[in-house]
Structure 1
């Protein structure tokens, strides 16, 4: 048997599918119906720290979050049902929900048959054999996956086991339909490979593929579907389009879990989100995307492979419907002085957003380390366009962009190819550190504003542009030791930045040109940068602000 997966170029191996086999129905017995920037920096740029604010505030809970993508589900407590009543799930599944768990022997046919029965029997709880590997060898041609579509409330207690694709055929592992609710606990899912049907190509009348087709190598959650993953590892999965491991159009919770070494030919090497996504005390590491969002993509990068988003909209391939962004919340766990951060580490994007990419929607990140990520274009750590972005108590360190924004890019849509209806970008970064990031062009730590930069005028100071491309607030934050061609700490282009109790120090610009202004700290180009009395821009090389920021001394 073979365990081939999609290659980094996304080509699925050409194979001969195995012969089908008839599964006998298997029925088990017993089935039941700066609080101080100095203190933060002293932790080596990577460790979380004590903060007086207490546990992370779930900001996304109070926002209207793209209801068209949420399948009608609220963003409230996941322990309540659609009517607001207690679901009685206890700790998300188990005997309290479905009665005595049905024990599944170490056999893939038995697992498939048990899931088929659970769908017919209004759901149930399945307990897998301990430390077993369930090898899926047959693709279900009707559903296009290795397991039956989840249409009821189904819990799988993994018991330390693995569900893996072991077949010549390319297929994903799990798919949750609208109305279905899947809970996974203590399980590894690997080798899933979401392939897409071959179409003659996009037309003006509609998209080239169905929503979710070719998305989510391990798990696809459709509109109105839900999935909760606890102590789950998703590894070595692939998607021909978006979401190497997970594609979410409904509602997904990921708690104390790991998403690593997955790949997407499109966006979201680890996860792509078009609904409501919560990542808590989890690790999204070492994933790759040929498009944008090496770790996580909220929405799709509309520019991918096309001349402009307007052209995509005309083809029905983005900027509306199922391709829109939703709401993402990424949080660590804070218990007194002890913090268990979530991580986005070592991810890589062929385009924008090495760790995290968002195009529209809402993104809230707290008690999280975004480190060591790479973008071949812009936003090594984070790339957010037309997005309400809130980063609180976050470490952004050691990321790299071949273009702009080694640590963070915040931008609006009022530029190249976008319709005038596109929103501005709005971002707040508070109580965080942005250190040791690099960019080959502008903004080693942060790039804010329109990402098309003209340098032939020498970065002359101009009047404030009333049509701001993006608005960024930095509060109680340290921007230190970042490097770029210009604007080593921060590059602001046709946008607004407000610094409150923030230090920008020891950043470097490497441009040796004498033809225009060069700032190691903050370079402001046709925008507006405001400092309060408690903020400081100092000790940057070769200058702090090159006379482009009021009250910044060079």
Structure 2
């Protein structure tokens, strides 16, 4: 309530001062209030001192028609800056505008965004909506990143190696990456809470998220209805450490051959009280409708989690509707792999090395639970 009240007060003051015309930003107890005018927004960011707060005009849409510098629609963030959005939107006016991202957090920058929509950014490189460079920090709360495009990595948000991002109570949806990470490219230190990544698309790997290195944690977060052309419809993980807690990866799809929900190679992945369900690997000879886990040193742990109703339903020898594992270390603790299906047995679990199984079940998978796997998981029958 305090945030809404302050935004409402700021909007009323700005509107009163503006009359029928836009006015420059003005300093008040709410920080610097920015009138509903794109030039005023650009100037306010460019002129902000370290630690400043900008309060945007409530419900305003700020239209960006040209890049401020290089591939950035707004001045790069090089210091600590808070933007209180007040349900405003910053949009790149496509299709007439040239390609540029909306925000760029440079090394030493610390950008804190609250209650703002970021829309239609288009980076020729990484980070269509927001790029966080090495040494930069982003805090995104109660905000939406929608319909952004990166020709390379991170259609919605790109967090480079050495960058840091915290995302809370936010939505990343309908973003597109020409390469990896349709919604989010996570290569630094990333923490996501109470958020949704939906309907994002990657032209190669990681429909919602691509994680190459560093550490990422997702708490009470949903990755739903995302798509990749190659592998990892929900998330593609190639290194580092990733953890999901009280979260869901559901109804994601890859048109490729591995990992409808999750592709994990070379990383430590932990799922705690997390659901992997309804995901599909649709390519021929597909592997791992729910989870594809591969590589010596790759670790997958499921604790009180479910892999339920996933499919490897492509033509030819598609197997492991639930989990497909090659040479990785897998531990199931009080977890269930159930009701998954594949074109060719097994529908539940395929693995060439043993699993560690504690109080877990593999059941009701089609055409078999584990039969057809080179190694049959302990306690798995049929």
**TM-score range normalised by the length of the shorter chain:** 0.7 to 0.9
TM-score between the two structures when normalised by the length of structure 2:
0.83
SS in 1 for 2:248: strand
1:242 counterpart = 2:126: yes
Q: 1:108 to 1:125 in 2, by over 3 A?
A: farther
Q: Which residue of 2 aligns with 1:36?
A: none
What 5-or-longer segments of structure 2 have no aligned partner?
Answer: 8-12, 313-317
Shift in Å, 1:146: 11
Among 254, 259, 273, the alignment partner of 2:140 is 254
TM alignment of 1:101-500, pairs within 5 A: 105=18, 110-111=23-24, 114=25, 125-129=31-35, 132=36, 134-135=37-38, 148=46, 150=48, 152-158=50-56, 159-167=58-66, 172-186=72-86, 187-191=88-92, 217-249=101-133, 250-274=136-160, 275-298=163-186, 325-332=187-194, 342-403=195-256, 404-412=258-266, 425-439=267-281, 440=283, 441-450=286-295, 468-484=296-312, 485-500=318-333
Shift in Å, 1:529: 1.5
Question: Is the CA contact 1:149–1:175 (under 8 Å) kept in the aligned structure 2?
Answer: no
Q: Which residue of 2 aligns with 1:523?
A: 350
What's the RMSD between the two structures over aligned residues?
Answer: 3.2
Shift in Å, 1:110: 4.9
SS in 2 for 1:148: helix
TM-score between the two structures when normalised by the length of structure 1:
0.59
Question: Is the CA contact 2:34–2:54 (under 8 Å) kept in the aligned structure 1?
Answer: yes
Question: Is the CA contact 1:136–1:167 (under 8 Å) kept in the aligned structure 2?
Answer: no
Question: Is the CA contact 1:192–1:218 (under 8 Å) kept in the aligned structure 2?
Answer: no
Distance between the aligned counterparts of 1:392 and 1:218, measured in 2?
Answer: 31
Distance between the aligned counterparts of 2:273 and 2:191, measured in 1?
Answer: 17
Question: Is the CA contact 1:380–1:408 (under 8 Å) kept in the aligned structure 2?
Answer: yes
Shift in Å, 1:229: 0.9
Q: 1:471 to 1:179 in 2, by over 3 A?
A: same
Question: Is the CA contact 1:135–1:163 (under 8 Å) kept in the aligned structure 2?
Answer: yes
Shift in Å, 1:107: 9.8
Distance between the aligned counterparts of 2:339 and 2:225, measured in 1?
Answer: 20
Q: 1:549 to 1:136 in 2, by over 3 A?
A: farther
Shift in Å, 1:177: 3.9
- Structure number, greater radius of gyration: 1
Structure with the largest fraction of strand: 2
Distance between the aligned counterparts of 1:246 and 1:378, measured in 2?
Answer: 24
Q: Which residue of 2 aligns with 1:43?
A: none
Distance between the aligned counterparts of 1:177 and 1:280, measured in 2?
Answer: 20
Aligned residues: 353
Q: 1:287 to 1:107 in 2, by over 3 A?
A: farther
Shift in Å, 1:183: 2.3
